[in-house]
Structure 1
Amino acid sequence: MQQTITVGLVAYGMSGQVFHAPFLHTLPGFQLKTVVERHAEKSKERYPYVNVVRSLDELLADDSIELVVVTTPNHLHYADTKKALEAGKHVVVEKPFVENTTQAEELIALAKRQNRHLIVYQNRRWDSDFQTVKKVLAQGMLGDLVHFESHYDRYVNYIRPGNTWKEDTQGATGVLYDLGAHLIDQALQLFGAPKAVTGDLRVEREGSRIIDNFHLTLHYDRPRVLIQSNMLVRELGPRFILHGVNGSFLKWGLDPQEAALKAGRWPNEAGWGTEPENLWGKLNTQWGDLHTIGRIETVPGDYNQFYHGVYAALTEDAPVPVKPEEALLTQKVIEAAIRSAEEGRQVAP
């Protein structure tokens, strides 16, 4: 008989609604038992079986809950994760992990002392476009890679109402922590720790108090790695640009899973994470004696794999799908980028 992991979800904002609750509901082996909502009971509209409590303390008082999923605003990640670990729970915490490396190191040490798993939700490792990029590189389609460019741009030319904490300078806000945490994590998965980071960080929207444009160079011997996010891009270019000694690969569009989840679809549907043909990436390369120009079918994305990994870690002692030490390195790169922008020089993470 399959073991069941009883789960408490801390907060039911966009992240809890879109990226966590649907998977905890549909995946065998998980029971979403309790949701923390400070003032409402919105989670019951879709999951009428859950208990709604008003505080993390109420959730942690339930000894049957083994796994706590923290999706509170970024500046609360450290305190909420620490409290859950101290209560003897395993923890999944949304990205960005925490506000600084000191907090990250403290939580990693606490999890080890408590003999509990601490897992950071870097779901975009299972994006369709990133999975395709990994296969293109693994199969050597471009030869030695010399240039890697990753963009995650949006067009939001106003201060977003109703998301006050996201537009506040308090605690790990702005696109460097938000989207940058994803792009940096993906680059580190491909290339490992960089020797240094150069950061160009800007505040460009009228009335903005947060970084809404960043351009990072992660320095390796090879390839050149550029990461960029800008909230004032109305006409989107490629999401990925790769150039190697034999050819190039360009990929437009975004993984379809977030849009599908926001539309209320379930992640166990047939064809989940599949992209339409018009978004397949373009390959122009030398393949043996042949010059090849064509489209590469996008590998389906699958955020289910994150929670499959969580389940295996908790029940089979398998490796966690995202190691907290990997999230710590992402945090170090973010802080190096901030120092670089302030001091006008390359900074080692």
Structure 2
Amino acid sequence: MQLVKAGLCAFGMSGKVFHAPFLKEHPGFSISAIVERSKEESKVKYPEATIYCSVEEMLQNADVELVIINTPVQTHYEYAKKALEAGKNIIVEKPFTVDVAEAEELVNLAEEKGLFLSVYQNRRFDRDFLQVQKVLNENKLGTIKEAEIRFDRFRTTPSGKQHKESPDQVGSGSLHDLGAHLVDQAVQYFGFPEKLFADVFSMKGAAFANDYFEILLYFKNNLRVRLKSSVFTKEDHYAYKIHGDKGSFLQERTDNQENELVAGAIPVYGDEWTQPLKGTDGILNILNENSETERIMTSSEAGNYMNYYQQIYEHIVFGYALPSPGKEVILNMKIIDASLESAKEERIIVL
């Protein structure tokens, strides 16, 4: 099996939870380099990796062909550009960049260098996202008229992460953090909208970056899609509500991969590794061919973030389709930029 040598630009939560475990357990990858500026925590689980004190040192000295840019979003552009200029293929953590201009420049540079750039849109491999996609593909709801996708939390006190919460940091706040997922899911389901209206602000006050947003996307054929997130939501909503002219589908956000990884779970290559779902997590309410109502409780099948890295490997070795290529995720950045503009100017933005 061809071995792909990879390097991690950081060993914080993203590196420890979302990247290193999958790279280690996938037989086609080898973690050859990890950047840790002042610690050597990675030695415990990844002794085979050489530790570097900076991204620049790793790019100059490490024998890697794939670099994962998993640093704060404010540094994505700088490090991604340096990695591409060093001749490395790259995976960039979401959110891709702080704005669309940075994203477009990086995509163009990757194309010029003949390298690939993928954005780590891992929520495409969540069980709940996949279940909604399945229902939409089955066309049981008929023509979709309205949809709502939410990602809520109850985090009323500051986390202390300035790159995520300081209003002075471009790219901070929930719109870039959680909005990067919701916007991506809306585009994957329904395509690129014609225009939008957004409300984006901080419920915790002006001393903090935005922690609330509501985006109304206007599509052709009168489809409306609402994206919403709040950190003052103690009781969960249905994360997905899809309504068509033949029925409705409601889906809870039940994927638990992140929590299991944080608790120390080890992903398994080529098999499901998460705990099975207990009970149901969705409601499908439709009219059948006889115009009779069928109300069905549904259960989503397991998601698997390993499939992202499997697709990366298959792209490198076999030339298969690249997951979430940067050129595609530019569309997400356009929506995020337009949402900030809409909220500031209190008007509809034509895309």
Check whether TM > 0.5.
Answer: yes
**Contact residue 253 and residue 279 of structure 1 kept, 8 A:** no
Could you tell me how far 1:287 is from its partner in structure 2?
2.2
Higher mean C-alpha deviation, range 315-324 or range 192-201: 315-324
**Contact residue 274 and residue 301 of structure 1 kept, 8 A:** no
SS at match of 1:227: strand
- In the TM superposition, 1:297-308 aligns within 5 A as 297-308=299-310
Could you say which residue in structure 1 is the equivalent of 2:252?
Answer: 252
CA shift digits 1:49-73 (9 cap, x unpaired): 2211101122112352000001001
TM-score with structure 2 setting the length = 0.95
SS at match of 2:159: coil
Q: Distance in 2 between matches of 1:117 and 1:199?
A: 32
**Structure 1 pair 106–47 and aligned structure 2 pair: CA distance change class (3 A):** same
Q: Distance in 2 between matches of 1:62 and 1:288?
A: 64
SS at match of 1:130: helix
Gaps of at least 5 residues in structure 2 are: none
Gaps of at least 5 residues in structure 1 are: none
- In the TM superposition, 1:215-254 aligns within 5 A as 215-221=214-220, 222-254=222-254
The share of aligned pairs that are identical, in percent, is 38
SS at match of 1:308: helix
Could you say which residue in structure 2 is the equivalent of 1:268?
Answer: 268
Q: How many residues align?
A: 347
Could you say which residue in structure 2 is the equivalent of 1:204?
Answer: 203
**Contact residue 67 and residue 83 of structure 2 kept, 8 A:** yes
Could you say which residue in structure 2 is the equivalent of 1:309?
Answer: 311
Could you tell me how far 1:146 is from its partner in structure 2?
1.0
The Cα RMSD (Å) is 1.5
Q: Distance in 1 between matches of 2:205 and 2:98?
A: 25
Could you tell me how far 1:202 is from its partner in structure 2?
1.6
**Contact residue 213 and residue 230 of structure 1 kept, 8 A:** yes
**Structure 1 pair 140–273 and aligned structure 2 pair: CA distance change class (3 A):** farther
Could you say which residue in structure 2 is the equivalent of 1:92?
Answer: 91
Higher mean C-alpha deviation, range 76-85 or range 133-142: 133-142
Could you tell me how far 1:191 is from its partner in structure 2?
1.0
**Contact residue 150 and residue 227 of structure 2 kept, 8 A:** yes
Q: Distance in 1 between matches of 2:229 and 2:243?
A: 20
Q: Which amino acid aligns with 2:18?
A: F
Could you say which residue in structure 1 is the equivalent of 2:25?
Answer: 26
SS at match of 2:21: helix
TM-score with structure 1 setting the length = 0.96
Q: Distance in 1 between matches of 2:152 and 2:146?
A: 19
Q: Distance in 2 between matches of 1:348 and 1:273?
A: 42
Q: Which amino acid aligns with 1:164?
A: Q
Could you say which residue in structure 1 is the equivalent of 2:36?
Answer: 37
**Contact residue 7 and residue 31 of structure 2 kept, 8 A:** yes
Q: Distance in 2 between matches of 1:63 and 1:159?
A: 37
Q: Distance in 2 between matches of 1:182 and 1:37?
A: 27
SS at match of 2:178: helix
